[in-house]
Homo-oligomer: A and B are copies of this chain.
Amino acid sequence: METLNFKKLAEQYKTELFNNVIPFWLNQSQDKDFGGYFTCLDRKGDVFDTDKFIWLQGREVWLFSMLYNQVEKRQEWLDAAIQGAEFLKKYGHDGNLNWYFSLTREGKPLVEPYNIFSYTFASMAFGQLSKATGNEEYAKIARDTFNIVLSKTGNPKGKWNKAFPGTRNLKSFALPMILCNLALEIEHLLDEEFLKETMDACIHEVMDVFYRPELGLVVENLNEDETLSDTFEGRVLNPGHSIEAMWFIMDLGVRLHRPELVTKANEIALKMVEHGWDKEFGGIFYFMDRKGHPVQQLEWDQKLWWVHIETLITMLKGYQLTGSEKSLEWFKKVHDYVWSHFKDEEYPEWFGYLNRRGEVLLPLKGGKWKGCFHVPRGLYQCWQTLEKIDQKGQL
């Protein structure tokens, strides 16, 4: 394999972040009239729909707060975060921190608080912003919302859960996986002992429960007794999801000084990317069935931006922390795919949805699920990790 110029690569990710992606969201997404952010932006960045989705509102608050905390105390980033947070604080929940799924442009609730990830991303947003501002009200929102999330782990959808109780109670990978990340995000707001317990519980769920050594794969759903379920939900794999979880685990491994956790996470990520890679057209599949049966998700063969960007982060961290050449090879392969397929050479920001062949399926830059999050977070994480690799090489 050709030698990579890590310095040049770091510069490429950094430039894309600050010269392309961040200006796009700063200029195109802020709603100056009602507050919050537009996320339904077409190829050129024009607003094509004004509904506001709590996942994406929270994630954009988080992103600008994170840049302010980690990169530079730039006022326009803080202002962007605060205006979004104020909109969320006022309209995003029912008064008791039950976070709606979506709002109208003006902030009227559209969809009830059925989705637990509206809560997790709100907590992440206010946690990061409280670090930037020292504002105790924001800290309290983050902490209280986190506690509500923990109280809902048994039945995250509450009364909107359509599963008939008792017949087939499945547990899902998504929540412990996100909690692995959230625990580190709001570490500064939690009691040390409680934080440690929560981290251990999440790590256990991800690495000992949902990772199945007999398959060498991470599954998305299990029976309550932690056995495999031979059902649509129990067979489905989401390679991007589990690869993303592995860099959360690597971060936890670093934080907790557990190098064996980092090594194991890197091994699992390599298995998932090998399993998920489309050998015919390149790119990583969105959904697969672990037994090779047809999946329910009609979009199974599509290539999604977040899957690939999260994989870049995981592979780079894997290489940085373990020195695995395989991880570096996969980084290179996915890097080539990402830059030649997801980056829009004509207009700012990146495409989100490609068909199996890697052709643009939807030309949007933002929508109901794609906002100011995976692209800039991924560029930031890759830039930072590439700089660390470069510096280590120079020592």
Contacts and interface: CB of A to CB of B under 8 A. Distances in A.
Interface of A: 42, 48-49, 51, 100-101, 104, 108-112, 114, 159-160, 162-164, 167-168, 231-232, 291, 293-296, 298-302, 353, 355-356, 361-364, 367-368
B162 A112 contact: yes
Contacts of A114: 162
Given A104-B167, A300-B362, 19 more contacts: A48-B293, A48-B294, A49-B232, A51-B231, A104-B168, A108-B164, A108-B167, A109-B167, A114-B162, A160-B160, A232-B368, A294-B362, A294-B364, A294-B367, A296-B368, A298-B299, A298-B353, A298-B362, A301-B355
B42 A164 contact: no
B101 A162 contact: yes
Nearest to A292: B48
A163 B294 contact: no
A362 B160 CA distance: 30
Contacts of A353: 298
A246 B208 CA distance: 54
A24 B49 CA distance: 46
Nearest to A94: B164
Contact of A164 (B51, B110, B168, B302): B110
A364 B111 CA distance: 34
A271 to B, nearest CB: 24
A220 B224 CA distance: 39
Main secondary structure of the interface of A (DSSP, over half): loop
A167 B101 CA distance: 13
Copies of the chain in the assembly: 2
A360 to B, nearest CB: 10
Contacts of A162: 101, 111-112, 114, 160
24 contacts: A42-B293, A42-B294, A48-B294, A49-B232, A49-B293, A51-B231, A100-B164, A104-B168, A108-B164, A108-B167, A109-B164, A109-B167, A110-B167, A111-B164, A112-B162, A112-B163, A159-B159, A232-B368, A294-B364, A295-B362, A298-B353, A298-B361, A301-B355, A355-B356
Nearest to A365: B294
B298 A363 contact: no
A114 B161 CA distance: 10
A111 B163 contact: yes
A244 to B, nearest CB: 19
A362 B114 CA distance: 31
B49 A231 contact: yes
A229 to B, nearest CB: 11
A112 B163 CA distance: 6
A393 to B, nearest CB: 41
A298 B368 CA distance: 11
Contacts of A363: 294
Contacts of A163: 110-112
Nearest to A298: B299
